[in-house]
Chain A
């Protein structure tokens, strides 16, 4: 069974799956992977169900030693993964022998915040309200630390059969592109004339105070005095507090908030938003609902289509 010992956790290493939907009315945020696409891809590469738990690694600096023969895949941000010092390809199922060192140097290619490190069998951690996801501000789970042992369950698929298989490059979100994040107008856009249009024309920078709860966006502000009774919110919603600096809500966002919602990120662009780091620039573009649905359908299709089968059989044949 796959197992990794933590030598260094890097920026922040958390166990995440697809979160705990269904408890929002009790005030429990969904949590889960900030980039759910990369999580699902990493799981498929190592033969796991899409929603198995994996490690969400923020930035570089994480280092592990395999304590057993381990089949892993790292998807999402290319954090310069190395196995025993040799650079290895992300988005590929890779085997590590006991004692092998797996390290992550840091962002390469000018984009990305989080890599999802899936282990064949799925990372084991206590299930709370249906999920293994850490939700730190709610006291669920904790960041991984030095010497923690990350153990996977029994593999679903024989690791020898699937080692080497890769995720098609054409079937990934446009992570590296500087294309704007696509948004739909929010339910309160009509109460703040000009704010949504202003959002679309502006260039923002992700503030250093950003975290899994939300990204604070600096650059242009749209101050207002609109006060609303608290209302339900979701990850991807764009809140506008009175100071006018938009907040793009993340996976750990509180379930309710009192700020107007001027926009909502389309589902297909949520993975790219989950890969933003403090200091990154971003822009928004408005789309229609039909385009949002088409883009989301395409993304879901890639998750279903899965791995590159030709490479998989080549790799298996090469032994």
Chain B
């Protein structure tokens, strides 16, 4: 394990490593993780394979017969020593959704749990753009947040075997959008017709980590 002040680099086998940001503030850690992932990708080091940014970490796979762990850690120490650039060119993607009713079967229950009116919950979600912290779980699935404490509910006790495509859901202080019919443990509060993932598009995923998402009730 190698550390800098804010980062630790742990091996994940002989051909990958996990860089984790020690920053306690989730949003700051996420900004640092996304900036590092972008810097590694831009450096285009020969022998580096997957670069997977997540909430507060970056997973990196590499071919150890082309580039050594020591070399990669050296590059990472250099990259993490540079303060992340101010994010100026964030894309804002508007996601139009219908909330409640058949489209959001869990809205009433979640509002009850949170002790707010359904309308107030939706207003809070649509009040401002939130950040795509990472893409994971399924192709194109965005983890959006962090949401205000008002919207922070734990995951459902029992996950659903199948959630309809386009479902807008919240859990664990984040919002998500199901790109396809998938099993899911988040609370379904709305539904969008936006196509989150389409492998035949030039840009298969509608959203990328670092984008901002503005929900709009229709």
Given contact pairs A232-B57, A255-B52, A138 touches B10 in the complex (Cβ within 8 A): no
Contact count band on A:
35 or more
How far is B169's CA from A7's CA once the two chains are assembled, in angstroms? 44
Given contact pairs A21-B49, A254-B137, A129 touches B204 in the complex (Cβ within 8 A): yes
Q: Which residues of B contact A27 (CB under 8 A)?
A: 135-141, 197, 205
Establish whether residues B13 and A230, one from each chain, have CB atoms under 8 Å apart when the complex forms: no
How far is B182's CA from A229's CA once the two chains are assembled, in angstroms? 21
Q: Which residues of A contact B100 (CB under 8 A)?
A: none
Q: Which residues of B contact A139 (CB under 8 A)?
A: 180
Q: Which residues of A contact B197 (CB under 8 A)?
A: 26-27
Query: Which residues of chain A from 262 to 297 have any CB-CB distance to chain B below 8 Å in the complex?
Result: 264-267, 289, 292-293, 296-297
Interface pick from B14-22, B79-87, B115-123: B14-22
Given contact pairs A26-B139, A128-B199, A256-B54, A267 touches B20 in the complex (Cβ within 8 A): no
Least distance between A88 CB and chain B CB atoms (Å): 36
Establish whether residues B204 and A234, one from each chain, have CB atoms under 8 Å apart when the complex forms: no
How far is B53's CA from A140's CA once the two chains are assembled, in angstroms? 24
Given contacts A25-B208, A187-B20, A229-B56, 11 further A-B contacts (CB under 8 A): A21-B50, A23-B139, A24-B52, A26-B205, A27-B140, A186-B12, A231-B57, A256-B136, A257-B136, A296-B15, A300-B65
Q: Which residues of B contact A24 (CB under 8 A)?
A: 50-52, 59
User: Does B26 touch A at the CB level, under 8 Å?
Assistant: yes
User: Does B7 touch A at the CB level, under 8 Å?
Assistant: no
Establish whether residues A267 and B14, one from each chain, have CB atoms under 8 Å apart when the complex forms: yes
Establish whether residues A230 and B12, one from each chain, have CB atoms under 8 Å apart when the complex forms: no
The A interface is mostly helix, strand or loop, or mixed, namely mixed
Q: Which residues of B contact A23 (CB under 8 A)?
A: 139, 204
Establish whether residues B140 and A26, one from each chain, have CB atoms under 8 Å apart when the complex forms: yes
User: Does B170 touch A at the CB level, under 8 Å?
Assistant: no
Most buried by B among A184, A229, A257, A300: A229
Establish whether residues A254 and B136, one from each chain, have CB atoms under 8 Å apart when the complex forms: yes
User: Does B64 touch A at the CB level, under 8 Å?
Assistant: yes
How far is B16's CA from A266's CA once the two chains are assembled, in angstroms? 11
User: Does B151 touch A at the CB level, under 8 Å?
Assistant: no
Establish whether residues B52 and A230, one from each chain, have CB atoms under 8 Å apart when the complex forms: no
User: Does B104 touch A at the CB level, under 8 Å?
Assistant: no
Please, which residue of chain A has its CB at the minimum distance from the CB of B196? A27
Query: Which residues of chain B from 42 to 74 have any CB-CB distance to chain A below 8 Å in the complex?
Result: 49-59, 61, 64-65, 69
Establish whether residues B13 and A255, one from each chain, have CB atoms under 8 Å apart when the complex forms: no
User: Does B186 touch A at the CB level, under 8 Å?
Assistant: no
Least distance between B209 CB and chain A CB atoms (Å): 7
Contact count band on B:
35 or more
Given contact pairs A229-B26, A232-B54, A264 touches B12 in the complex (Cβ within 8 A): yes
Q: Which residues of A contact B65 (CB under 8 A)?
A: 293, 297, 300
Query: Which residues of chain A from 73 to 114 have any CB-CB distance to chain B below 8 Å in the complex?
Result: none
Establish whether residues A25 and B209, one from each chain, have CB atoms under 8 Å apart when the complex forms: yes
Establish whether residues A237 and B56, one from each chain, have CB atoms under 8 Å apart when the complex forms: no
Establish whether residues A266 and B14, one from each chain, have CB atoms under 8 Å apart when the complex forms: yes
User: Does B36 touch A at the CB level, under 8 Å?
Assistant: no
User: Does A28 touch B at the CB level, under 8 Å?
Assistant: yes
Given contact pairs A25-B37, A296-B14, A229 touches B139 in the complex (Cβ within 8 A): no
Q: Which residues of B contact A186 (CB under 8 A)?
A: 10, 12
Q: Which residues of A contact B37 (CB under 8 A)?
A: 25
Establish whether residues B15 and A267, one from each chain, have CB atoms under 8 Å apart when the complex forms: yes
B138's contact among A25, A138, A229, A265, by CB below 8 Å, is which?
A: A138
Top 8 A-B residue pairs of the complex, sorted by shortest distance between their CB atoms: A232-B59, A256-B136, A232-B52, A187-B10, A264-B13, A229-B55, A292-B14, A26-B205
Least distance between B125 CB and chain A CB atoms (Å): 20
Interface code A1-43, partner B: CB below 8 Å = 1, 0 otherwise? 0000000000000000000011111111010000000000000
Establish whether residues B180 and A138, one from each chain, have CB atoms under 8 Å apart when the complex forms: yes
B52's contact among A25, A129, A229, A289, by CB below 8 Å, is which?
A: A25
Please, which residue of chain B has its CB at the minimum distance from the CB of A20? B199
User: Does A156 touch B at the CB level, under 8 Å?
Assistant: no
Interface code A133-161, partner B: CB below 8 Å = 1, 0 otherwise? 00001111000000000000000000000
